[in-house]
Every structure is written in C-alpha cells, then in structure tokens.
C-alpha cells in the first residue's frame, strides 16, 4: 500500500511521513525532494527559472510514476499537488493508495511558516504575519475542496507527533 500524506505546507507531511514510514517499515519519499533529484535543481529554482506551470507538469509526471512503480511507501505531497492536473483523481482511482489529509489550523500554519519563508517559494515574498495569515486563509479556502477528498483526515493542532502517528495507524489499518 502507498500512504499519501496531503495538506498545506508546514502541516507536518514530511516530518510525520518519515516517522510513519519508519514505524511501518515502509520507504519514505517527499515528492518535492524526488522532483529535485530527478530534475537536478531545487524546487525554488524550478519556480524561478521555468515557472509554476512547468513545475506542476513535472509534479504530476513524477506522482504518477511513483504511484505506478512503488508499494510499501509513505509519500508526502507538496501542498498544491492535490489541486492540479487531476492529481487527486489519480490518487482516488488507484486501489493501492490511501490518502491522509493532515489538517492544521491557520494560526498553527502561520506559526510554523513565518520563520521558513525563504525556503518556501510561494510565500517568500510575504513580509508580515498579517499578510501571511491572509494568504494562508485564501489558499486553504481554495485547496480544502481537494484536501477533503482524502480517505482519512487527521487534525494535527496541539498534538504530539507520536499521538498523530498512533491515530493515523488506527484509522488506516
């Protein structure tokens, strides 16, 4: 089975994905890291040099490649991945994948992201916490319709990593 972690940036997909993969003795892949490895350039540089449309096309290509080729995998998607190119349909239409929405509140996401902006191309230009809050709120409003199609939803606010993993395992198995 492929367990696909979905959620907004900084919702915990990569951190929790590594822990979950270790617990289940599965492989772990962060889709952004996979793209960087395949393209031999950082996601930030892809956005800067080739643009978001190019990135989204590659993202879909590599997502489908992983869904076709892998088993016993925990896959962490980028925050926008489910929202483009019918990627959520691809997840829903494969019997070997289960999707998990890691749901975090806007205040939680702002607290996690405000010191990481330089590493995040979509928010690198945002200067204040108020503008970041507004940006995240708008994005979440747009993306929730895709995230909510996940097989399982786990709220992560104010929970310890091990408690989230335990809740995940109980709901998935």
The answer to the question of residue 164 being in a domain is no
Instruction: Tell me the pLDDT tens digit for each residue of 66-108.
Output: 999 889 999 999 999 999 999 999 999 999 999 999 999 999 9
Annotated binding site, which residues? Answer: 10-15, 32, 56, 79, 120, 143
Position 67 scores a pLDDT of 95
Instruction: Tell me the pLDDT tens digit for each residue of 118-160.
Output: 778 789 889 999 999 999 999 999 999 999 999 999 999 999 9
Annotated binding site for substrate, which residues? Answer: 32, 56, 79, 143
The answer to the question of residue 166 being in a domain is no
pLDDT above 90 for 165: yes
The answer to the question of residue 27 being in a domain is yes
The answer to the question of residue 172 being in a domain is no
Contact status, residue 67 vs residue 2, Cβ threshold 8 Å: yes
The answer to the question of residue 168 being in a domain is no
The answer to the question of residue 163 being in a domain is no
pLDDT above 80 for 15: yes
Annotated binding site for ATP, which residues? Answer: 10-15, 120
Position 115 scores a pLDDT of 85
pLDDT above 90 for 109: yes
Position 120 scores a pLDDT of 82
The answer to the question of residue 89 being in a domain is yes
- HEC secondary structure over the chain: CEEEEECCCCCCHHHHHHHHHHHHCCEEEEHHHHHHHHHCCCHHHHHHHHHHHHHHHHHHHHHHHHHHHCCCEEEECCCCHHHCCCHHHHHHCCCCEEEEEEECCHHHHHHHHCCCHHHCCCCCCCCCHHHHHHHHHHHHHHHHHHHCCCCEEEECCCCCHHHHHHHHHHHHC
Domain range for 122: 2-154
Number of structural domains (the chain) is 1
Annotated binding site for Mg(2+), which residues? Answer: 14
pTM of the complete model: 0.94
Instruction: Report the CATH number that the domain containing residue 97 is assigned in CATH.
Output: 3.40.50.300
The answer to the question of residue 171 being in a domain is no
């Amino acid at each position: 089975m492929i367990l696909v972690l979905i959620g907004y940036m900084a919702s915990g997909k990569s951190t929790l994905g590594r822990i979950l993969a270790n617990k289940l003795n599965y492989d772990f892949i962060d889709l952004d890291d996979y793209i960087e490895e395949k393209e031999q350039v950082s996601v930030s540089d892809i956005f800067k040099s080739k643009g978001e449309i190019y990135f989204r096309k590659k993202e879909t290509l590599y997502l489908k490649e992983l869904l076709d080729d892998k088993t016993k995998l925990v896959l962490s998607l980028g925050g926008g991945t489910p929202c483009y190119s019918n990627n959520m349909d691809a997840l829903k239409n494969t019997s070997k994948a289960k999707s998990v929405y890691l749901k975090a509140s806007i205040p939680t996401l702002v607290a996690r992201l405000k010191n990481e902006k330089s590493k995040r191309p979509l928010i690198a230009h945002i200067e204040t916490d108020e503008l970041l809050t507004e940006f995240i709120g708008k994005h979440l409003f747009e993306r929730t319709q895709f995230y909510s199609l996940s097989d399982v939803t786990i709220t992560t606010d104010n929970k310890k990593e091990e408690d989230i993993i335990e809740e995940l395992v109980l709901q998935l198995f």
